[in-house]
Amino acid sequence: MKIVILDGHALNPGDLSYDCLRQFGELTIYDRTDSEEEAIERIGDSEIVLVNKVHITENLLAHCPNIRLICVQATGYNVVDCAACAKRGIPVTNVPTYGTAAVAQFTMALILELCHRVGLHNHDVHTGGWVNANCFTYWLTPQTELVGKTLGIIGFGSIGKAVGRLAKAFGMKVIAYNRSQSEEGRQIGEYVDLDTLLTQSDIVSLHCPLFPETEKIINAESIAKMKDGAMLINTSRGPLVDEQALADALNSGKLRSAAVDVVCHEPMDADCPLLSCKNCIITPHMAWAPVESRQRLLDTVVENIRAFLEGKPQNVVNR
């Protein structure tokens, strides 16, 4: 059995071990793969292919007829042409819940940063701001208390619910928009329609998957419905947001601030409008990065391969 990892550095920059995969066969690891041609060459006659963000296309599949299983080392699997794989009888697996705690924690970190701008004040102190102050205290940005504020969560799956629980611990009211509803969700927050969420929320946080119907769910029209001075958080997928519309809203003051861990093109384009707009915190798609969550991800990939080889594939997204 030949196994190839096409972009192994994303999951494992050196603090984990891929040796756990060698039990299944001959393993080849590439840190990065930059083109389809390179991917085809590297896959060769491999039967199991592991990817994170490398695209698996119809053309690639046609050139690599030995592929039997594709394992996405992430939750999102839009990089894979799942229909083309299904047509060839190739299961595509993902890892659905490894990062729930990490992403929820990071979401709250971004919310708190927007409320207090701790990093900005730390930098100001270290560059002489407090030494030269004429008072025992000062602040450079408005400070916000979360108690009594409304958090609107778009996408109330496992991560959205985890964020809702943390928000409730801060004394926030939680409302949620989701395609389906559950009793578990009702114990955390109130289900509402999208317009109600936009108009009532002090902070809107995105946790929905990227589908054609959710692409640019935050756009000029939806932003216009939001409260003046509201805040936006995106730790889900960059294309959920019309970046120019968000930049315009931040520059005009319609929205007070935003914090995003994802953008439409990653790595980020130099001309991304969010780089030059006001009051936008940007982090480099790192909410999933704690070593604990990445180890869970790798452990699940191992179990996905084992289950496939035993004839009982799990976490298949293209049945």
What are the residue numbers of the active site? 237, 266, 285
User: DSSP per residue over 106-149, as a string?
Assistant: HHHHHHHHHHH-HHHHHHHHHTTTTTT-SSS---SS-----TT-
Question: Which pairs with CB-CB distance under 8 Å and at least 24 residues apart come from 290-295?
Answer: 290/102, 291/15, 291/16, 292/102, 293/98, 293/99, 293/101, 293/102, 294/11, 294/12, 294/16, 294/98, 295/16
C-alpha 219/C-alpha 105 separation (Å) is: 26
Sign of CA dihedral 173, 109, 260, 80: negative
Residues in the chain: 319
d(CA 257, CA 278): 8
Q: Please name the residues in contact with 142: beta carbons below 8 A apart, sequence gap of 6 or more.
A: 256
